[in-house]
Chain A
Amino acid sequence: MAITQKKEKYDLSNEKEFIRFMGEISIFSKLTKSERMNLKKYIYLRTFKPGEVVFKKGYPNVVFYIVQEGLLKVYLEKDGREIVLSKLHSFDFFGEMGLFLEEYRTASIAAIEESKLIAISKRDLADFIAKFPRAGTKILYKFGELLSRNILKTNNRISEG
């Protein structure tokens, strides 16, 4: 998931930069500029301090996050020990499974460095898709592509043994 890209700072309150940033996020990359602009009304901007927990394993799935900047870790706690599964950088997103499953968070996320996140609630995304079905279809196609790739990757890993 961790696709390292050239680090760049975006000021999301600026319209042009917001549109540009959203274009860099794979699931929104197919949206037109105006569609990306419409998304602005549906997001929350949150800042997390180093060490601050975004959510823990077992919490309800409510929000889907995109990393604007910063560094976060995906981890599990086992017998009081912390197992770091992966790290998240700018343009990564997480919590997408929660958009499709009525279940609980499967891992915990905490900020390592000060991180700026874009939060989109499950319900707001559903509203956005209902209001802009054309843009919604593109987003869902991208999600389908992403999930299929993950399955393919897992299959390959299993067959290679």
Chain B
Amino acid sequence: MNRSRVIRLILTILSLALGVAAILYYKSIISYLLVGFLVSYLLSPIINYAERSHISRALAIIIVYVIILILLAIFFTYIIPQIIQQLADFSETIKSVLENPEKLSMRSLGIPALDQLIDMLEKTFPALKVDEEVLKFFDSGRLTDIMNQLPLVFKGVANILAFLVVVPVIVFFMLKDERIFLRSVINNVSNRYFEFTLHLLERIEESFGKFFRAILLETVIVAVMSIIGLLILGIPNALILGIIVGLANPIKYFGPFIGAVPTMLVILLGPTPDVYVFYSAIMYVIVQQVDGNILFPVLVGKSMDMHPMWVLLTVIAGGYAFGISGMLLGVPVVFLVKTIFEVAQKSLKEFEII
């Protein structure tokens, strides 16, 4: 009795040590594994669908890869040069403004009504210098920081190359042997937890998988709608501006505003007449209405069961902790953790484990 306990303790310590050693050994590629996991998670419904049509998983993955390669080729030959051009234009515009902040003055817009409003505000509240506040906001070096970070994306070409080689290989095997991986895990679960584990995995996949894919689809549709709207209005850099709007969109409450800022800057600072600020604002309001009243309820809708107040607080807290990426990822991560806890608690009770 005592001896078996000692042996068990030793085995536990050994396996913990082994686990730590494994993490240390594989730590440099953990990010690859995570990305690989994420990508295969996103692609898995496609492969499963193909498998139902009696296309083997390996063949389906290769077909998907070929399609992705063709898309990438199109992307690199036609779109990337354009984006780089637009990015350069954009950062040039911003830089020129930062060197010459007068341009940002709200009076420079030359809208008489706005001038009057500013005059009136400044007369009523002498302590408030509306115009200067705006200038100060842009002057505080935040924008320069953001602009300086942009090249970081293109840095580390070697890393990116390694990424581009390793991740598809990981994704290939994860997708191909998805069922085998999952089965080998479940096979090792003891009888007491066997049904519980299956149940838990199904429930998490049900609530989070649906939510995640819905958000992704919503992002793409909003980006496409915005790009079309911008193209109709004839605003330069439509592609990158639309993509920014789409990417910012999943940030609840703040996203639409954050996403629209670059568009407004491009219009105000570029050759486009300033009045297009209003047109594009109207266009974004329409896009948001379509998103809020049709896309979100239909796609995401019930799959996100989180009180609006928590969503708001999560977004704000995420912003404080990790900046824009925190605002973007805060809600999904908190939702995932919440889902796992809720589902686990319910299942644990149902299976009388607690």
Q: Which residues of A contact B (CB under 8 A)?
A: 41, 44-46, 48, 52, 54-56, 58-60, 62-63, 104, 119, 121, 123, 127, 130-131
Closest Cβ–Cβ distance, residue A25 to chain B (whole Å): 20
Residues of B within 8 A of A119 (CB): 194
A96 to B247, CA, bound (A): 46
Closest Cβ–Cβ distance, residue B62 to chain A (whole Å): 19
Query: When the two chains form their complex, are residues A44 and B199 in contact, meaning their CB atoms are under 8 A apart?
Result: no
Query: When the two chains form their complex, are residues A48 and B191 in contact, meaning their CB atoms are under 8 A apart?
Result: yes
Query: When the two chains form their complex, are residues A56 and B352 in contact, meaning their CB atoms are under 8 A apart?
Result: yes
Total residue contacts A-B, CB cutoff 8 A:
42
On chain B, the number of residues with a Cβ less than 8 Å from chain A's Cβ atoms is: 18
Instruction: Select the residue from A44, A46, A48, A62 with max chain B CB neighbours within 10 A.
Output: A62
Picked from B51, B183, B347, the residue with its CB within 8 Å of the CB of A60 is: B347
Residues of A within 8 A of B199 (CB): 60, 62
Add 6 more A-B contacts to A48-B191, A52-B191, A60-B199 (CB < 8 A).
A44-B186, A46-B194, A59-B351, A62-B195, A62-B202, A121-B198
Q: Which 5 A/B pairs are nearest by Cβ-Cβ distance?
A: A62-B195, A62-B199, A131-B52, A62-B198, A121-B198
Bitwise, B184-210 to A at CB < 8 A (1) or not (0) is 001100010011001100100000000
Closest Cβ–Cβ distance, residue B54 to chain A (whole Å): 8
Query: When the two chains form their complex, are residues B183 and A55 in contact, meaning their CB atoms are under 8 A apart?
Result: no
Asked if B350 lies at the interface with its beta carbon under 8 angstroms from chain A, I say yes
Closest Cβ–Cβ distance, residue A106 to chain B (whole Å): 15
Residues of B within 8 A of A59 (CB): 195, 350-352
Residues of A within 8 A of B52 (CB): 130-131
Bitwise, B307-348 to A at CB < 8 A (1) or not (0) is 000000000000000000000000000000000000000010
